Amino acid sequence: MEMMNWLPEHSAALQDLRARGLSYSEIADAINATFNTAYTRNAALSRAQRMGLVGLDRFEPSLPGHLDPPRPSVPELPWIGRLREGQAELKADLLRWPKNFTEMVEMPQLRCAAVAPRHLSLHDLKRGDCRYPYGGDVEGETMTFCGHPCRPGSSYCAPHFDLSRDPEASARPVLNDAWLQAVGTS
The whole-angstrom separation of Cα 134 and Cα 157 is 14
Let me know if residue 149 belongs to a domain.
yes
Mean pLDDT across the chain: 75
With bands split at pLDDT 50, 70 and 90, how would you rate the model's confidence at 101? low
- How confident is the model at residue 83, as a pLDDT? 44
With bands split at pLDDT 50, 70 and 90, how would you rate the model's confidence at 87? very low
Let me know if residue 101 belongs to a domain.
no
Q: Are the CB atoms for 4 and 31 separated by under 8 Å? A: no
Let me know if residue 52 belongs to a domain.
yes
Identify which has the larger pLDDT, 174 or 48: 48
Let me know if residue 109 belongs to a domain.
no
With bands split at pLDDT 50, 70 and 90, how would you rate the model's confidence at 4? low
Q: How many domains does the chain have?
A: 2
- How confident is the model at residue 100, as a pLDDT? 61
Report the b/e string of 1-13 with b at 16+ CB within 10 A: eeeeebeeebbeb
Q: Tell me: the pLDDT tens digits for 57-70?
A: 555 444 455 455 55
Domain end marker among 13, 40, 59: 59
Query: Whose CA is closest to 126, among 151, 154, 145, 142?
Result: 145
Domain containing residue 173: 114-186
Identify which has the larger pLDDT, 165 or 65: 165
- Of all residues in the chain, the percent with pLDDT exceeding 90 is 28
Q: Is the pLDDT score of 182 beyond 80?
A: no
Domain end marker among 44, 59, 74: 59
Identify which has the larger pLDDT, 105 or 171: 105
Collect all residues with Cβ–Cβ distance below 8 Å to 161 and sequence separation of at least 6.
Answer: 151, 154
Q: Are residues 184 and 119 in the same domain?
A: yes
With bands split at pLDDT 50, 70 and 90, how would you rate the model's confidence at 3? low
Identify which has the larger pLDDT, 101 or 19: 19
Of the given ranges (22-31, 116-125, 126-135, 177-186), which has the lowest mean pLDDT? 177-186
Identify which has the larger pLDDT, 70 or 94: 70
The whole-angstrom separation of Cα 28 and Cα 14 is 8
Check: pTM over 0.85? Answer yes or no.
no
Q: Is the pLDDT score of 30 beyond 90?
A: yes
